[in-house]
Structure 1
Amino acid sequence: MTYIATFYSHYGAIQFRKNCEKMHLEALVMPVPRNLSSSCGTCVRFAAEGEFPEKNEEVEQIVRIEDSGYVCIYHADEE
């Protein structure tokens, strides 16, 4: 499955991408899609089956990409 994680800072996005790479997950830092809001404007698109990279305090949300759009699977405000 493919996911997008948004962040409160650019630094958080870079750290998350590095964590993905350590887990041998394909990850790409890119601008946040227009219909997802983000504090810093940078997101990480990554593919994962099962185990996710560790979330830190910089992760704003994680959405799963589906044919019908985005499905939120984590949002920091909901914890």
Structure 2
Amino acid sequence: MNEYIAIFFTHSGAIKFDRFCKKNNIKSELMPVPRKLSSNCGICSKFCYDDSIDTLISDEIEKIYECHEKEYVLRYEE
């Protein structure tokens, strides 16, 4: 399963996404944005997903990174 970090424009966007994930049985957790990455709101969602992330994109999401050990690969940017 692929692991991702989604960064949001606002805290409320992160909370909405987390609720969406939980409702759709997608493993996710809210956490501070890693220092290597930047954000307007400082909170991100770390989640696991196997399908195309295109189905998860919303206006609330600023960026999505795929996690590879300690490296982050940008997969989506608003």
The two structures have a TM-score, normalised by structure 1, of 0.89
- Residues 30 and 68 (structure 1), Cα distance of their counterparts in 2 relative to 1, 3 Å cut: closer
Offset of residue 67 of structure 1 = 2.6
Partner of 2:64: 62
Q: Bigger shift: 2-11 or 62-71?
A: 62-71
Regions of 4+ moved over 4 Å: none
CA distance in 1, matches of 2:56, 2:70: 27
Matched positions, count: 76
**Identical counterparts, % of pairs:** 38
The whole-number CA distance in structure 1 between the counterparts of 2:70 and 2:16 is 29
* Cα pair 1:8 1:58 within 8 Å, conserved: yes
Higher deviation after alignment, 38-47 or 48-57: 48-57
Q: CA RMSD in A?
A: 1.3
